[in-house]
């Protein structure tokens, strides 16, 4: 069973598996940050090979300042990055290409919604005021707001809802590269392999808040 380390002990444990931890400046004008931006991402804390000439060798976890706001947040960030270790060591290039594809898929899935948002609703100011007054009156009386018919034809058409249902979220896809964070069957063997315990779990084994790890998962 994996031990619950302090942050210092966790870093020492990772070093035994050829994983080092370094501070990372996301605002730095560096080649690394430039390449991350070229891939369509914002610079952020991450894990990667110390040298792409030997991606199966030493790995480095790059820790941004805000991921170290508390010892607990720092540990959680490190543990989340460890989940990617075997992806990188076993299939660094295919994992990287899959991650890029999933990012493109995610962005492309929102295009219909974005285009739909440019179509005007043609609701008069008078209609809008009546609608808002009804919402207020029913809301104050404790009635069912869903029973009030909206004057907005776009909303009533259901097209917007359909387009939203098409949105793809790579972090919510348990089989994607980033989906390993929520897929306990995938990440548990990895953490056990490196002797690392999960941190900050809630009922059901799900992570409480990705934002606490110093990464943006939204």
Domain match, 66 and 12 both:
yes
Domain housing 30: 7-103+180-213
Domain match, 96 and 20 both:
yes
Residue 188 lies in a domain: yes
What pLDDT score was predicted for residue 204? 36
Domain match, 63 and 154 both:
no
What pLDDT score was predicted for residue 86? 95
Nearest alpha-carbon partner for 64 in 34, 83, 42, 94: 42
pTM of the model: 0.74
Domain match, 96 and 198 both:
yes
- Residues in a beta bridge with 49: 59
Domain match, 85 and 146 both:
no
What average pLDDT does the chain have? 84
Rounded CA gap, 105 and 112, in Å? 13
End-to-end alpha carbon distance in the chain: 32
Give the total number of structural domains in the chain. 2
Nearest alpha-carbon partner for 81 in 184, 189, 187, 175: 187
pLDDT band at 150 (very low <50, low <70, confident <90, very high): confident
Residue whose token pair is 């909206």: 150
Over residues 13-46, the pLDDT tens digits come to: 999 999 999 998 777 777 667 766 776 677 778 8
């Amino acid at each position: 069973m994996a031990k619950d380390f302090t942050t210092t002990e966790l870093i020492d444990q990772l070093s035994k598996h050829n994983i080092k931890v370094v501070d990372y400046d996301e605002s730095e004008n560096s080649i690394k940050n430039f390449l991350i931006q070229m891939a369509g991402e914002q610079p952020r804390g991450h894990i990667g090979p110390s040298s792409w000439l030997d991606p199966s060798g030493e790995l480095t976890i790059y820790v941004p300042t805000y991921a170290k706001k508390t010892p607990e947040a720092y540990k959680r960030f490190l543990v989340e990055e460890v989940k990617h270790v075997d992806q990188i060591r076993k299939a660094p290039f295919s994992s990287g290409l899959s991650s890029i594809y999933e990012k493109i898929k995610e962005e492309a899935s929102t295009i219909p919604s974005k285009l739909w948002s440019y179509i005007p609703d043609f609701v008069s100011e008078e209609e809008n005021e009546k609608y808002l007054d009804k919402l207020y009156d029913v809301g104050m009386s404790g009635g069912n707001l869903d029973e009030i018919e909206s004057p907005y034809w776009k909303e009533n058409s259901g097209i917007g809802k359909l387009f939203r249902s098409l949105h793809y979220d790579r972090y919510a896809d348990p089989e994607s590269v980033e989906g390993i964070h929520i897929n306990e069957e995938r990440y548990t063997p990895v953490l056990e392999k490196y002797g690392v315990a999960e941190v900050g779990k809630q009922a059901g084994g799900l992570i409480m808040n990705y934002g606490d790890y110093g990464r943006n998962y939204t």
